[in-house]
A = this chain, B = another copy of it.
Amino acid sequence: MKKKKVPSMVKDQQLIKHRREQMIQGAITLFKEKGYHRTTTREIAKESGFSIGTLYEYIGSKEDVLYLVCDSVYEEVRTRLDSLIDTESVGLDRLKLIITSLFNVMDEMQDEVLVMYQEVKSLPKEALPYVLKKEVAMTAIIEQAIKDCREPGVLTISDKEATLMAHNIMVKGQMWTFRRWALKHSFTLKEYTDIQIKMLLGGVVSEQMS
């Protein structure tokens, strides 16, 4: 389950990194517009600023491009998220910070994230687990943050509930991208975030608690 190795004919690691970044940007632009399958390798090469021959100096197959894109998007989401939540806050505050940060990142990267979630299923069988692992890792962070809030009178929640809540939060983040067609008419990001947090952490409903 380690990072998939994308083959390249080129030795210079610096160059590989540079070219692949160009490639990923070009590919995202195109995938956004027409999806992975309707985008040709020729188009990716052109959009990336080099020739089809060069493209294949840095990848082994078209699927590698998709893998690089998915990997890159996850990495970027992760990096941005980490930088936002790297604070001293603890407990509920930290959990709220994580949620807010997640939604913010999803909003900033909505096109990239949408592309990624819509196309992961086209990844080759061997690459999927590696990508899913990142999803699992992020979910685990949230789950931990939830569990760290558990305290009588603050958050009473079972392990299973914590797990599911973590999944829910992840999905609410993604949902902001894939259900945008409906949500954007009714909510700003701030409204969306506030209401979701309120619903997640209580306050909406009250009768059962008495």
Q: Is the CB of B161 within 8 A of A171?
A: no
Q: Is the CB of A207 within 8 A of B154?
A: yes
User: CA of A179 to CA of B208 in the docked complex: distance in angstroms?
Assistant: 29
- Report how many copies the assembly holds: 4
For A185-210 the 0/1 string (1 means CB < 8 A from B) is 01100011001101111111111111
In the complex formed, the residue of B with least CB distance to A185 is B163
What are the residues of chain B within 8 A of A156 when measuring CB–CB?
Answer: 204-206
Q: Range of interface residues on chain A?
A: 35 or more
Q: Is the CB of A203 within 8 A of B209?
A: yes
Q: Is the CB of A183 within 8 A of B205?
A: no
Q: How far is the CB of A102 from chain B (nearest CB, A)?
A: 15
Q: Is the CB of A199 within 8 A of B167?
A: no
Instruction: Say yes or no for A8: interface residue by CB 8 A criterion.
Output: no
One of B155, B160, B168 near A207 (C-beta < 8 A): B155
Q: Is the CB of B202 within 8 A of A164?
A: no
Q: Is the CB of B118 within 8 A of A199?
A: no
User: CA of A181 to CA of B206 in the docked complex: distance in angstroms?
Assistant: 33
What are the residues of chain B within 8 A of A192 when measuring CB–CB?
Answer: 164
User: CA of A121 to CA of B177 in the docked complex: distance in angstroms?
Assistant: 13
What are the residues of chain B within 8 A of A163 when measuring CB–CB?
Answer: 186
Residues on A close to B: CB < 8 A? 35, 37-38, 118, 121-122, 132, 135-136, 139, 153-157, 160-161, 163-165, 167-168, 171-172, 175, 179, 181-183, 186-187, 191-192, 195-196, 198-210
Q: What would 27 A/B residue contacts be, using CB atoms closer than 8 Å?
A: A35-B121, A37-B37, A37-B122, A153-B206, A153-B210, A155-B205, A156-B205, A157-B204, A160-B191, A160-B195, A161-B198, A163-B186, A164-B192, A165-B204, A167-B182, A167-B183, A168-B175, A168-B199, A171-B172, A199-B200, A201-B205, A202-B202, A202-B205, A202-B208, A203-B208, A203-B209, A209-B209
